[in-house]
Amino acid sequence: MRALCWNGINDLRVETIDDPIILDPGDVIVKVKLSSVCGSDLHLLDGYVPAMRSGDVLGHEFLGEVVETGAGVSKLTKGDRVIVISIIGCGHCWFCDNQLYSLCDNSNATPGMEETVYGHAGAGIFGYSHAFGGYAGSHAEYIRVPYAETNVFKVPDGVSDETAVFVSDAVPTGWMAADLADVQDGDVVAVWGAGGVGLMAMTAARIMGAERVIAIDRFPDRLKKAHAHAGAEIVNYEKVDVHDALMDMTGGRGPDRCIDAVGLEAHGTGPGYLYDRAKQALRLETGRATVLRQAVRACRKGGTVSVIGVYGGFVDTFPMGALMNKALTMRGGQQHGQRYVPTLFEHIREGRLDPSYLMTHRWPLDRGAEGYGMFKHKTDDCLRVVFDPTLSAGPGANNLGAGGPA
Amino acid sequence: MAYQRSRSSKDDLAADLFTPGSLAVGVIAALALRRMGTLGLVGAALGGAWAYQTWRNKTGKPPTHVIPRAPLTVRRSITIGKPRPEVFAYWRDPTHFPRFMAHVEDVREIGPDAHHWVVRGPLHTAMEWDADLVDIRENQHIGWRARPGADIVNEGSVTFADAPGGRGTEVHLEVTYDAPGGKLGAMVARLMGEEPDRQAHDDLRRLKQILETGHVTSSQPRPHGSR
Ligand SMILES: NC(=O)c1ccc[n+]([C@@H]2O[C@H](COP(=O)([O-])OP(=O)(O)OC[C@H]3O[C@@H](n4cnc5c(N)ncnc54)[C@H](O)[C@@H]3O)[C@@H](O)[C@H]2O)c1
Ligand SMILES: [Zn+2]
Ligand SMILES: [Zn+2]
């Protein structure tokens, strides 16, 4: 089959490789119809997640059709149109029993690195390095899905592929960000990062009762979408001081809930940013805490900081004093998508939630490297480029972006 | 009961990791390893820590837990989300061991509560011994001890306790290796690789996977591009 493989930092190639096979009775094989890029992949491309090996297949946000089932699978059959949650639960451990699927004890087949550094290992993740299980990803014609009855969900009739694919990752992640933030009726919710995840967090916050949502980013097209699709007020951090703006907009209180949907590769301005970049380049600091620092400082006393953007190792100059003295609650995690899928499809069917606009580009797999380049540099108003392995390369590639072909 | 176990090597590692000097050394080692292509990508602290530990192993300054004290004891614990009798019953039959103990190739019954073990080390070296189950207390404890003449003198025990809050069973494993003369270090190293703690832990994890999910979790073989 054809698959998009990681071959080194910022080096991606489409190669012809073996088809996946069923390894365990609970497995299914899914024929991939749509497979999206995600901000998390950029951390792999840029070298912030260790333990990638050349030849690893990328991709974890996908939709497709079940084409083969293991002997122990009874709830799924060939031909089912499905999405698969990007983070793998075993469905049997204490964490899965408590709907904390991304903390699954059993699904990470290669837990050693996480155990050494984090103390414990979390779940396996598709296409996300040998620290997170060493599973092949979804930017391919076929993918093996372990523990399928826990991780595979049939797409309800009437929900299009273009909408459903994001229920694999971006939608539940944004939803969980708002859930962790404990959004209450009447809250002001500030979201750093207007990518697919941040935008979904804004809509989720609204559905959960937020009175006002504030989007912080620097790309005008993304901010515009935050306003159009989530009714967000917008802050361009390259134009204004974020802290001052947030204080102005909230009568000095600060946002009740602050969501970091950016993570360790936060871009920034000023000396703090240069300091972080230099240390990060020397590998003395593994995450840039630009957004975390702003969020903790701006957050209303007694409010919540929800960290859904990914961090890998260590950050510097974390404002612990502010967190403690302002009695803030800070929560984070990889998404527990399995827990939210039924609710999310319900909101989608009832028209309160429509993630389909995240798919700004639908491209053949062969344009994988180019697609990641566009997504990384946020050119051509790209929010998410979604690969369709059934499309052939060259013309016929369907560019849904605002501009012409990239 | 007061907790008496001495500070573990993992705590040492964590402490070292948070010392700037040590971290820097880890980072340098990481970069060196990267040049050698060993790790591919060593960006984050995960890589640094890993490389750091490898570096300590490689530079004749072995982590404390590999120093062949005589006897060498390895202790690890895990919680398995199954009732105590079920976990006990699985362990009660040592012929199950090869399913989750990576280096144990075969365990064959040779008499009542007596077994012949074949253990495979690196480079296809095989070590064998006969062992008796000892000190069996129903649903609580199982011990085993190699008979005289074993390639590696060893004994072990596993203790089962109810986890609080209905979380299943705590399994506490302790294995002690001993051998006459100076052979111990070499033999244990051959048998266990560089990290006996890690191996014991991985074995327990696989046991947990089998009892909770029905099989060992696998991601290999998997399709991949050119290396
Ligand atoms: N926790 C999870 O389970 C999970 C799942 C998916 C993605 N993620 C993480 O969520 C984050 C966002 O993912 P995405 O797909 O939306 O990525 P994306 O790259 O599309 O969006 C990130 C956005 O953050 C903005 N940004 C950068 N620096 C900023 C700053 N200082 N202030 C405000 N905005 C800033 C960028 O301009 C960009 O628009 C990533 O860190 C990703 O790894 C987490
Ligand atoms: Zn993702
Ligand atoms: Zn689990």
CA of A176 to the centre of ligand 1 (A): 14
Higher per-residue pLDDT: A184 or B45: A184
pLDDT given at position A50: 72
- pLDDT band, very low/low/confident/very high, at B4 (cuts 50, 70, 90): low
- Asked whether residue B84 falls in the same domain as residue B165, the answer is yes
The residue out of A332, A363, A397 marking a domain boundary is A332
CA of B93 to the centre of ligand 2 (A): 43
CA of A96 to the centre of ligand 3 (A): 4
- pLDDT band, very low/low/confident/very high, at B27 (cuts 50, 70, 90): very low
- pLDDT band, very low/low/confident/very high, at B8 (cuts 50, 70, 90): very low
- Asked whether residue A162 falls in the same domain as residue A46, the answer is yes
pLDDT given at position B126: 82
CA angle A256, A259, A264 (to 5 degrees): 145
Flag whether pLDDT at A213 surpasses 50: yes
- Asked whether residue A191 falls in the same domain as residue A279, the answer is yes
- Asked whether residue B29 falls in the same domain as residue B134, the answer is no
Q: Does A115 touch chain B (CB under 8 A)?
A: yes
Q: Do the domain assignments include residue A63?
A: yes
Higher per-residue pLDDT: A274 or B178: A274
Contacts of A204 (CB under 8 A, 6+ apart): A174, A175, A177, A178, A179, A183, A353
pLDDT given at position B39: 31
Cross-chain residue pair A284–B17, CB shorter than 8 Å: no
Residue A89 CB less than 6 A away from ligand 1? no
Q: Which residues surround ligand 2, an ion (CB under 5 A)?
A: A 38, 40, 169
Chain A contact set for B13 (CB, 8 A):
116
Overall domain count for chain A: 2
DSSP letter for each residue of A80-108: -EEEE-SEE--SSSHHHHTT-GGG-SSS-
Average pLDDT, whole number, for chain B?
73
Task: Give the HSE-up count for residue A366: Cα atoms under 13 Å, Cβ half-sphere.
Answer: 9
Q: Do the domain assignments include residue A398?
A: no
- Asked whether residue A380 falls in the same domain as residue A271, the answer is no
Per-residue pLDDT of B193-216, as tens digits, reads 556 788 899 999 999 999 999 999
Q: Pick the closest to residue A93 from B209, B160, B163 (CA basis).
A: B209
Question: Which residue type is seen at A364?
Answer: P
CA angle A20, A370, A17 (to 5 degrees): 20
The residues facing B178 across adjacent strands are: B153
- Asked whether residue A255 falls in the same domain as residue A287, the answer is yes
pLDDT given at position B185: 56
- pTM of the shown model: 0.88
Cα separation of A115 and A128, whole Å? 16
Percent of chain B past pLDDT 70, that is, above it, reads 59
Q: Do the domain assignments include residue A255?
A: yes
Q: Pick the closest to residue B80 from B196, B5, B173 (CA basis).
A: B173
Cross-chain residue pair A283–B53, CB shorter than 8 Å: no
Residue A180 CB less than 6 A away from ligand 1? no
Q: Of the candidates A47, A113, A314, which has its C-beta nearest B50's C-beta?
A: A113
Q: Which domain holds residue B105?
A: 72-213
Instruction: Estimate the share of chain B in helix, then strand, then coil, as percent rounded to the nearest 5.
Output: 40, 25, 30
Residue A245 CB less than 6 A away from ligand 1? no
The domain that holds A190 is classified in CATH as 3.40.50.720
Higher per-residue pLDDT: A285 or A99: A99
Per-residue pLDDT of A371-391, as tens digits, reads 999 999 999 999 999 999 999
- pLDDT band, very low/low/confident/very high, at A160 (cuts 50, 70, 90): very high
Residue A295 CB less than 6 A away from ligand 1? no
Choice from A286, A310, A311, A381 to test ligand 1 binding pocket (greatest atom count within 8 A of CB): A310
Overall domain count for chain B: 2
**Which residue lies with its CA nearest to atom 20 of ligand 1?**
A195
Average pLDDT for residues A313-341, to the nearest whole number? 96
Task: Give the HSE-up count for residue A60: Cα atoms under 13 Å, Cβ half-sphere.
Answer: 27
Cβ(B145)–Cβ(B136) below 8 Å: no
Contacts of A107 (CB under 8 A, 6+ apart): A88, A89, A90, A123, A124, A133, A146, A147, B217
Least confident of A111-115, A151-155, A158-162, B177-181: B177-181
- Asked whether residue A182 falls in the same domain as residue A72, the answer is no
- Asked whether residue A221 falls in the same domain as residue A273, the answer is yes
The token pair that represents A347 in the structure block:
């909101």
Average pLDDT for residues A235-250, to the nearest whole number? 98
pLDDT given at position A405: 35
The domain that holds B205 is classified in CATH as 3.30.530.20
- pLDDT band, very low/low/confident/very high, at B192 (cuts 50, 70, 90): low
**Interface ipTM above 0.95:** no
| Cα of A47 to nearest chain B Cα, Å | 5
Q: Which domain holds residue A345?
A: 2-169+336-388
The token pair that represents A273 in the structure block:
């940013």
Higher per-residue pLDDT: A104 or A401: A104
Cβ(A235)–Cβ(A214) below 8 Å: yes
- Asked whether residue A65 falls in the same domain as residue A149, the answer is yes
pLDDT given at position B57: 42
Per-residue pLDDT of B104-144, as tens digits, reads 999 999 999 999 999 886 667 788 999 999 999 999 999 99
Average pLDDT for residues B152-163, to the nearest whole number? 93
Flag whether pLDDT at A136 surpasses 60: yes
The residue out of A332, A352, A380 marking a domain boundary is A332
- pLDDT band, very low/low/confident/very high, at B47 (cuts 50, 70, 90): very low
pLDDT given at position B29: 35
- Asked whether residue A150 falls in the same domain as residue A89, the answer is yes
